[in-house]
Every structure is written in C-alpha cells, then in structure tokens.
Amino acid sequence: MQLSIVHSLPNRVRFKYPKYTLDNKQVIVLKNMLIIQNGIESVFINSLTCSILVCYNNINENDVLSLILNIEDKYMHDKAILKSTTEEEHRLTLFSKLTIMLLSHFFKKLLPIHIRHAITIIKAVYRVKLALEKFRQTKKLQSETIDATSLTISILNNDYSSASNIAFLLDVSEVLEDYAKKYQ
C-alpha cells in the first residue's frame, strides 16, 4: 500500500493511506507495534480516515515511515496475528453506551420516588468525593467542584429532578471525554 506524508512538524508527522481502510484489529496491531519502537513517543490512528499521527524523538520521518512499512509488511496482514488480536474487552460503541445511559435515565423515572432520590444522592456523594480529592491534589477549585456544588445545591433545595439531570449530563460528558481520549 502507498503511505504518504500529509503533514510534518519537528518530531511529529501525519501519514495517510489513500483509499484504504484499516480495520480495528489492524489499527491495534499497528499501534501496539509502533509504540514499542525506540524513538516513538505516541501514536494516534484514525481508522475511518486512515490517518496515522506519530510523535517521535531521536529519529527522523524516514525512520518512522520505514517502521510503519515494515510493520505493515510483516504483521498487519498476518491472519494468525490478526485472529489473536482482541479488541478492548467487549467495548461498546459510543452510540450504544449513550443509548443505554439515556434509556436508563428515563426508565429511572418509573421507580418509586424514594429510590430515585437515593440514586441521585449516591451520585452526588460520588461527585463531592471526586471534587474533594481533586482539591486535595491541586489546592485549586476545578470543574469537579462546580459539578459537586450544583448537585448539592439542587438536592438541598429539594430539586431532585434537576440534580438527577445534572448527574446524567455529567455522566454523558465523562463518556464523551473518555471516548475522545481513546480515539483521537
């Protein structure tokens, strides 16, 4: 396959496969094989656009290109290696995670009010603990503090519906943030 350099900066280069799609197992093999090479600092692969971003140190672009081409030749089409490569533990797609969260949030409305309130309080306690830990580490007020404060004030005002919605939106934002970190 033909691999081309799309963009290059010192110690950072982006490659792209033209008209080629990488499946998830090929992405995992390529990323795992690249990241263990000397001089490679980080690897980000987008399987949809077939883009490979490599940050490196103490080597040059041609060395990185050679590494990718060698890995491609030796490993990315080896059926035994691809078969033994497992994707992350039964991970759900972003869409299915968000769908499950949305459905459980609205089906929770069918529960008795005391159980709904208890669930909301448990989520608020979790957020307060998170805020306190973050404050203890940084000695600064972070977004976690605002999250915990908004939940606590809603509960103290007996507005459990708002507190539940805030907790739901915070959970959604965590899922989106995790997804962005894993697949950027």
* pLDDT tens readout for residues 52-73: 999 999 899 889 988 888 888 8
Percent above pLDDT 70 for the chain: 92
Domain boundaries, the chain: 4-84, 94-182
User: Considering Cα of 14, then 20, then 24, then 29, what sign does the dihedral take?
Assistant: negative
Q: Please give the pLDDT value at position 18.
A: 75
Whether 85 shows a pLDDT value over 90: the answer reads no
CA separation for the pair 43, 54 (Å, rounded): 5
Q: Please give the pLDDT value at position 89.
A: 37
pLDDT tens-place string over residues 126-176: 999 999 999 999 988 889 999 999 999 999 999 999 999 999 999 999 888
CA separation for the pair 25, 106 (Å, rounded): 35
Mean pLDDT, all residues of the chain: 86
Q: Please give the pLDDT value at position 2.
A: 78
Q: What residues does 42 pair with on adjacent strands?
A: 55
Query: Residue 53: phi, psi to the nearest 5?
Result: -105, 125
pLDDT tens-place string over residues 35-51: 899 999 999 888 778 88
In this prediction, residue 24 has a pLDDT band, given cuts at 50, 70 and 90, of: confident
Q: Please give the pLDDT value at position 90.
A: 39
Q: What is the mean pLDDT of residues 15-43?
A: 84
CB of 131 within 8 A of CB of 147?
Answer: yes
Q: What is the mean pLDDT of residues 76-95?
A: 68
DSSP track, 26-62: HHHHHHHHHHTSTTEEEEEEETTTTEEEEEESSS-HH
38: left (phi over 0), alpha (psi -120 to 50) or beta: beta
Q: Which CATH class is domain 4-84?
A: alpha beta
CB of 29 within 8 A of CB of 70?
Answer: no
Q: Please give the pLDDT value at position 182.
A: 64
